[in-house]
Structure 1
Amino acid sequence: MCGRFSQAYTWGEIYAFSQPLTEPAPARNLQARYNIAATTTIDILVKTDAGRKLCKARWGLIPPWHKGTAKQIKPHINSRVEGIDTNSLFKRAYVKNRCIIPASGFYEWTGEEKNKTPHFISAREGAILAFAGIWERWRDENGEEIISASIITRDANDWMSKIHTRMPAMLHPDDFETWLDGLAGKEVLMRPPPELQEWIVDRRMNKTGVGDDDPATAAPVEMEANVPSPSPPRQGTLF
């Protein structure tokens, strides 16, 4: 799964990443975030009649038929690729509402439940990662429209499986267009991602929301004195 991630980039970087944004929009300052948690607001890239657009969305998909409040439904922050086209929660969005979720990196944990070690995983060259996603429109009990989104996940391979059994599905730039158009099949979600690297970060990451505005949240740290020092950041492809 992907339970926490980072979006820290400039307007120029996200503009170039999007190839570029084609729906007219003024340049603006973007708030860097380093500890994004479920149900908070994230950036997503969608395709509209006017072109590609960077939008805000709630992280945690809410299906359009949901009755009640947003708090009365489990936040579907991840959607498994294995059932993305058959699960009733996700298949409508998979066909009609695809998105790209830009990420500077994501976090996973190793170790015992009460003493987990957080790891930060990012692109080796520092590029923005393109998580494949889906989104939906939903109206709450007051009629307010809420856009929500979910990150598609897949099985980890040998490299990632040393940390976790799942990982986000990552798109290649040459698949952006067909993915957003709904023409690409699930095979693009299984392509090798870019070269990645990982390192251990501060244990304060074990608490949701801590350091969301602090770049040190994603910085490498030494372990406590009674714990072996971490090995150098691992690098390499996931395949």
Structure 2
Amino acid sequence: MCGRFTQHLSWEELQRLADLIGQPRNLAPHYNIAPTMQIEVIRLGVQGKELTPMRWGLVPLWWRDSLNRLPATFNARAETVAEKPMFCSAFNARRGVVPASGFYEWTGPKGAKTPHYFSAPDGRPLAFAGLWERAPNPDTKEMIDSATIIVGPANKWMSRFHDRMPVILDWGDIGLWMAGGDPGSLLRPPPEDALQEWVVSPRANKSDLGDDDPMLIAPV
């Protein structure tokens, strides 16, 4: 799946990759993003592709209970995303892209798991297929933007570490994805050489904003 990832991105690089509109802004780096935290998401606005902060964990428009009782919606399965009530409305009308510097996955027995970090071999950001929604926060009544990352079966290379992985789009396909393009040709495992991997510090096992620094992704 994808339960932890990083965003240490520059506006300039994302603008080149995604043809963003809007005023450039300084993007704070984060090396230990966990569900319910704020993430940066690319979506189609009236004028074009815009970068918007959102809650990681999609809140459906119809959800009326407290967010504390919202089921885990930080990932959506590619196989069922078009039918699941939590995601189908956003799948049909509000697709987005979550730019990521990399993501974590774990191997080994419970209590002694080894964290691995995955990123693009050329260092470019990854483009995760995602969905977004704007809905009232049941706890505050304020409107919030939220998002989920779509995950699918792992390719052969990734299957050594986990049987699932984020759906990674080619940057050239993100416009087609957000405009409602055929998911069958887009929600597929990436090429076998799409990622590189190394083992990182066990500090990555903690989801704590107080432990959020570049050394989390340093090889050990």
For the criterion TM > 0.5, the same-fold answer is yes
Corresponding residue SS for 2:132: strand
Which residue does the alignment assign to 2:215? 216
The AA in structure 1 aligned to 2:99 is: P
* 1:175 and 2:173 aligned: yes
Cα deviation per residue 1:166-220 (whole Å; 9 max; x = unaligned)? 0000111221111111123232111534621000000011111266531111110
Which residue does the alignment assign to 1:102? 99
Corresponding residue SS for 1:82: coil
Q: Which stretches in structure 1 are left out of the alignment for 5+ residues?
A: 222-239
Which residue does the alignment assign to 1:91? 88
The AA in structure 1 aligned to 2:213 is: D
* 1:11 and 2:3 aligned: no
Q: Which stretches in structure 2 are left out of the alignment for 5+ residues?
A: none
Corresponding residue SS for 1:28: coil
Partner of residue 147 from structure 2, selected from 133, 146, 149? 149
Cα deviation per residue 1:112-152 (whole Å; 9 max; x = unaligned)? 11010000000000011000000111102332001111000
Q: What is the CA distance between 1:10 and its match in structure 2? A: 1.4
Q: What is the CA distance between 1:75 and its match in structure 2? A: 3.0
Corresponding residue SS for 1:17: helix
Q: How high is the TM-score relative to the length of structure 2?
A: 0.95
CA distance in 2, matches of 1:207, 1:174: 34
Give yes or no for contact 2:42–2:99 (8 Å, CA) kept in 1.
yes
Cα deviation per residue 1:5-38 (whole Å; 9 max; x = unaligned)? 00001121121121x113xx22221100011000
CA distance in 2, matches of 1:112, 1:187: 36
CA distance in 1, matches of 2:169, 2:124: 13
Which residue does the alignment assign to 1:51? 48
CA distance in 2, matches of 1:139, 1:207: 30
The AA in structure 1 aligned to 2:50 is: K
CA distance in 1, matches of 2:91, 2:99: 18
The AA in structure 2 aligned to 1:220 is: P
Runs of 4+ in 1 over 4 A off after TM superposition: none
Q: CA RMSD for the aligned pairs?
A: 1.4
Q: How high is the TM-score relative to the length of structure 1?
A: 0.87
User: How many residues were matched structurally?
Assistant: 218
- Of residues 158-167 and 191-200 in structure 1, the stretch that sits farther from structure 2 once superposed is 191-200
Partner of residue 122 from structure 2, selected from 122, 125, 131? 125
CA distance in 1, matches of 2:58, 2:14: 23
Give yes or no for contact 2:117–2:200 (8 Å, CA) kept in 1.
yes
Q: What is the CA distance between 1:86 and its match in structure 2? A: 1.2
Give yes or no for contact 2:96–2:178 (8 Å, CA) kept in 1.
yes
- Residue correspondence of structure 1 range 219-234 to structure 2 within 5 A: 219-221=218-220
Give yes or no for contact 2:152–2:189 (8 Å, CA) kept in 1.
no
- Of residues 177-186 and 163-172 in structure 1, the stretch that sits farther from structure 2 once superposed is 177-186
The AA in structure 2 aligned to 1:213 is: D
CA distance in 2, matches of 1:209, 1:187: 37
Corresponding residue SS for 1:66: coil
The AA in structure 1 aligned to 2:69 is: Q
Corresponding residue SS for 2:106: strand
